[in-house]
Structure 1
Amino acid sequence: MPDLSDRHIFIIPVQDKFLLHAPLLKLSALVNRSAAGAMRAALANGAAAENADSRLQPLLDVLRQPPLPPPAPNGAEISPAFLGIVTTRACNSACVYCDFGAPGASGRAMDLQTAVAAVDWYARLLKQQEKELLEIHFFGGEPMTAPAVVETVVHRARLVAARERLTPYFEISTNGLCGPALLAFLGDYVNRVVLSFDGREDIQNLHRPLRGGRGSYPGVFAAAQYLSDSPAQLVIRCCVSQINVDIMEDTARWFCETFNPSLINFEIMQPVESAAAAGLYPPDPYEFAANFIKARRAAESFGIKTVYAADLSTEPVYTSCPVGSDTVIVSPDGRISSCYLLPEKWQEVGLDLDLGEMRGRREVSINPAAVQNIRDMVIHKPRCEKCFCRWNCAGGCHVGNTYPGCSPDYSDYCRQTRIISACSLLDELNLPEMADTLIDDREALPALACRESDRLMEWEV
């Protein structure tokens, strides 16, 4: 019988070749059909493996080694990846694909005492756990429509970090439409500014109009220019619909030439009613994957990295989002959760992602049972069990893609992730030309993207 580790050895068809991928053994290789079949037989037959082709012996020696333990959540006290602050759910924009409820959201901003209490609690926890990085991320709505919260958190965190000998780090997701004075604050005090910017004027104004239908392009363009010259790292997050998927390469090149960002992040548009009403839909997964690779190549020529959230990771992971990584996100109403989406989104798929609450605006109360329930949830993903991306994508969004009870069939998100991850493996093997050929082969892509099981031992030779 195959050893237990055989479940962690994957084989992925790439045109007339195969990618052998064993992430828990830190092994990847490109082999032909004959070699893949011989290795499968050798692993299945045990003693008969001595008769295997000697050229395969180095690979077989590695494949027979015990795998690394699968990545898993910390089983002890809560250990947040970072502290998230949702300053407000309100927004000064009217993006047609908004999935945060911002256009009709309450204008309530987080109470400053709540914000200070959250920072103080986090700093104390870091000291108790002998950690050094005090990392805080700001979310919304549009977080800069509540600037007092952002400024208070930044200055309080810098104060306690200096006192406790911690290193403060700040990241904010913003539309950049906050005016020169607040942009200057972000440039001077925030380490990384993730700017939502979907491309040239026609696309930006179509995707992300202001209230009343006015265009947001002039303000976002000015913000990107300013932040590009500031001490902060500028990350451009570009949302892709069926309208701009075919120009991703041109968009990446324009971003690099015009703003020189430290990073470009392409994300797919979510299928929400407001977007559909405007005639906007998520891109075809094959088109997105192919054009993402082309955009990545374009940005690489400028020395700029382009990322996709579920792409191949340097180390195996069990979650690719804040959920499950003990992240503590505090909302304006004092709710403490592991996800920055509106609670209604979790509840629609039967999830409870709350971790606790702020008591009396001054005390952080974490429920250990809730923490453990979320940890357990993220590592049980039936759809992902036989997929070679299970330890880099790890199911993607636990609310939108792999919630409990979701279909076992791959989603469009899964399909594009599988293509992008396979191309990344080819790049790691110094075979970018093969990846470039693959993305233009519309017969080979479905064979890769839709394969029910990638496990080597379940492969029918």
Structure 2
Amino acid sequence: MVHQFKNNGYDIVLDVNSGAIHVVDDMTYDVIALFEDKTSEQIIEELGDKYSKEELKEAIEEVQELKDNGELFTPDNYEGYITDLIDKRPTVVKALCLHIAHDCNLACKYCFAEEGEYHGRRALMSYETGKQALDFLIANSGNRVNLEVDFFGGEPLMNFDVVKQLVEYGRSQEKIHNKKFRFTLTTNGVLLNDDVMEFANKEMSNVVLSIDGRKEVHDRMRPFRKGAGSYDLIVPKFQKLADSRDQNNYYVRGTYTHFNTDFSEDVLHLADLGFKQVSVEPVVTDPKEEYCLTEEDLPKLFEQYDKLAAEMVKRKKEGKDFNFFHFMIDLEGGPCVAKRLSGCGSGTEYLAVTPWGDLYPCHQFVGNEDFLLGDIWKGVQKTDIVNKFKKCNVYSREKCKNCFARFYCSGGCAANSYNEKGTINDTYDLGCELQRKRVECSIMIKAAEADMESGTEEE
């Protein structure tokens, strides 16, 4: 399978199954488009008005050579691999999302957690429950050494003392069980202070800072419960934390909606504030909500991603570069095959824990009793649900089979699929459209960076 596209002046060809990427001229681009379905003579006849016969012959030979070398039109050899993976690989838990607080000091309008309540009650996780969660993770992680724990909410800093106690407990268990914890924290920044920053810089491998972009955009969607905006309070704190971490191992994370389909301005606003690690993601919500993204928004959103990609290339040349989370793809190493086929591991390797110890496949399923797996004392009891998630991959989703982006998104989010289609084995269609555009932009940026390194970029 081959995918061809043009972006910001580049003609790009992606060989989906091998992952090989080719930046080509117009003639080679046109030859590749006909190569599988037509003979050399038919290609020359069809393109003869645009290019010379000799040039076309040379291009056809080059394309054939790429095919012979396994860099174009390669077969898909992964479907059998994922079947063996499901049947033979034992499942171990390697990551927990600890809902340290089902409570929040903001009232974000798009929050899937209902201001931290998750369709249930407000609650803070006790130290005893958190300790049992870490014990559960250690006990169910098999021989895996590196374990991940994200302190999540609601707003986890509303329960900061317990966060500190649990980190201390986790560190005390590392040598005993030959484990290493990687702790992360997601915060809206309202309670962020010097003590929290000092602790985070010592213990947190990554910190996620929630901010939507421009002041008017952020304050519209992320106000306090009485209506006041939170932008002015959090921005100086976030800037201080980012600088204190040398602009690494954190990212500012925003959400764009129907109200700011010009979201590239929000990304660039965050970059102009000095943030080097930025993520601004599309809202996923009930279609009845006025801020929900629609199919009619797609042309504008595609334009925004193209605009952002071009601006990032420009800023890279000027030495003012920054990372945009959705454009960060590794074209050489990248995730392992299992990860590329099966995704985030929700429901199998990655679980969410409520403040009272219930287990769910991930934070987005919390509160949906149909996905309650068990608890941290008795363990996972609904193994039938786990098996459904284990079998969820790019080959279990019919729409993924012919999608060029499938090995970059791993089929997309199971929760988004369930919320739109009622099954984890389908896709969230609008999200797929956006993902495909992001992959194209990501590849274009890599092509431009390669040109910069070789000194061949066009002025």
Q: TM-score range by the shorter chain?
A: 0.7 to 0.9
| Matched-pair contact (CA < 8 Å) for 2:416–2:427 | no
Q: Write the distance in 2 (CA, Å) between the matches of 1:17 and 1:159.
A: 53
The question of whether the paired residues in 1 share the 8 Å contact of 2:5 and 2:440 is answered with: no
Q: Which residue of structure 2 aligns with residue 122 of structure 1? A: 137
Contact 1:38 1:52 in 2 (8 A): no
* 1:443 alignment partner in structure 2: none
The 2-side partners of 1:169 and 1:406 are apart by 28
Distance across 2 between alignment mates of 1:81 and 1:293: 36
User: Is residue 2:299 matched to residue 1:281?
Assistant: no
1:120-159 to structure 2, matched below 5 A, reads 120-126=135-141, 128-129=142-143, 131-159=144-172
- Where does residue 357 of structure 2 map in the other structure? 334
1:220-257: per-residue Cα shift (whole Å, max 9, x none)?
113202312334733100111233332524x3333234
1:293–1:132 distance in 2 versus 1, CA, 3 Å: farther
Secondary structure class of the residue paired with 2:240 = helix
Higher alpha-carbon deviation: 295-304 or 56-65: 295-304
Query: Which whole-Å deviations, capped at 9, do the CAs of 1:345-396 have from their partners, x for residues lacking one?
Result: x67xxxx54443223xxx5345544322211134411122211111212332
Corresponding residue of 1:445: none
Alignment of 1:30-69 (within 5 A): 30=24, 31-41=28-38, 53-61=60-68, 62=70, 63=72, 67-69=76-78
Instruction: Quote the residue 2:4 is aligned against.
Output: 12
Residue 203, structure 1, aligned to residue 217, structure 2: yes
- Following superposition, the deviation at residue 146 of structure 1 comes to 2.0
Runs of 5+ unmatched residues, structure 1: 1-8, 44-50, 434-461
Of 237, 248, 257, the residue aligned with 1:241 is 257
Cα separation, 1, equivalents of 2:284 and 2:393: 21
Asked if 1:256 is matched to 2:271, the reply is yes
Whether the 8 Å contact between 1:295 and 1:306 is mirrored in structure 2 is: no
The gaps in structure 2 that reach 5 residues or longer are: 41-57, 452-459
**Residue 357, structure 1, aligned to residue 375, structure 2:** yes
Look up the SS of the partner of 1:93 in the other structure: coil
Q: Which of 443, 446, 456 in structure 2 is aligned with 1:428?
A: 446
Aligned length: 404
Is residue 2:241 matched to residue 1:227? yes
- Cα distance change on mapping 1:406 and 1:260 into 2, 3 Å: closer
Q: Is residue 192 from structure 1 mapped to residue 180 from structure 2 by the alignment?
A: no
Q: Identify the match of residue 413 of structure 2 among 397, 406, 429.
A: 397
**1:176–1:183 contact (8 Å) kept in structure 2:** no
User: What one-letter code is carried by the residue in structure 2 that aligns with 1:376?
Assistant: K
Residue 292 of structure 1 is matched in structure 2 by 305
Distance (Å, rounded) in 2 between the aligned partners of 1:304 and 1:74:
38
Separation of aligned partners in 1, 2:182 and 2:329? 24
Q: Could you tell me whether the CA contact under 8 Å between 1:134 and 1:169 is conserved in 2? A: yes
Aligned-partner Cα distance in 2 for 1:83–1:239: 23
The answer to whether the 8 Å contact 1:136/1:169 transfers is: yes
- Normalising by structure 1, report the TM-score: 0.76
| Structure 1 residue 306 displacement after superposition | 0.4
Give 1:33 deviation, angstroms: 2.7
- Give the match for residue 308 of structure 1: 326
Q: Give the distance between the partners of 1:343 and 1:225, measured in 2 at CA.
A: 32
Answer yes or no: is the 8 Å Cα contact 1:88–1:146 preserved in 2. Answer: yes
Contact 2:91/2:349 (<8 A) preserved: yes
Would the aligned equivalents of 1:312 and 1:421 in 2 still touch at CA under 8 Å?
no
- Deviation string 1:3-29 (CA, Å, 9 cap, x unpaired) is xxxxxx133344899754333323223
User: Residues 115-145 of structure 1, C-alpha deviation per residue, up to 9 Å, x if partnerless?
Assistant: 112212323444x41x331221122112222
Bigger relative CO (Cα 8 Å, ≥ 6 apart): 1
| Correspondences of 1:67-86 after superposition (within 5 Å) | 67-70=76-79, 72=82, 75=87, 76-86=89-99
1:265 maps to amino acid? S
Work out the CA distance in 2 between the residues paired with 1:59 and 1:365: 49
Deviation at 1:307, TM superposition (A): 1.5
Q: Secondary structure at the match of 1:391?
A: helix
Whether the 8 Å CA contact 1:183–1:227 is kept in 2: the answer is yes
**Residue 231 of structure 2, aligned match among 217, 230, 242:** 217
Q: Aligned-pair distance for 1:165? A: 4.1
Q: Do the aligned residues in 1 keep the contact of 2:254 with 2:280 (CA within 8 Å)? A: yes
Counterpart contact for 2:158–2:191, Cα < 8 Å? yes
Cα deviation 1:79-107 (Å, max 9, x = unaligned): 23422211122111101111112265522
Tell me if structure 2 keeps the 8 A contact 1:87–1:139: yes
TM-superposed CA distance for 1:274, in Å, is 9.1
Structure 2 counterpart of 1:412:
430
Local SS of the residue matching 2:440: helix
1:355 and 1:367 in contact (8 A); partners too: yes
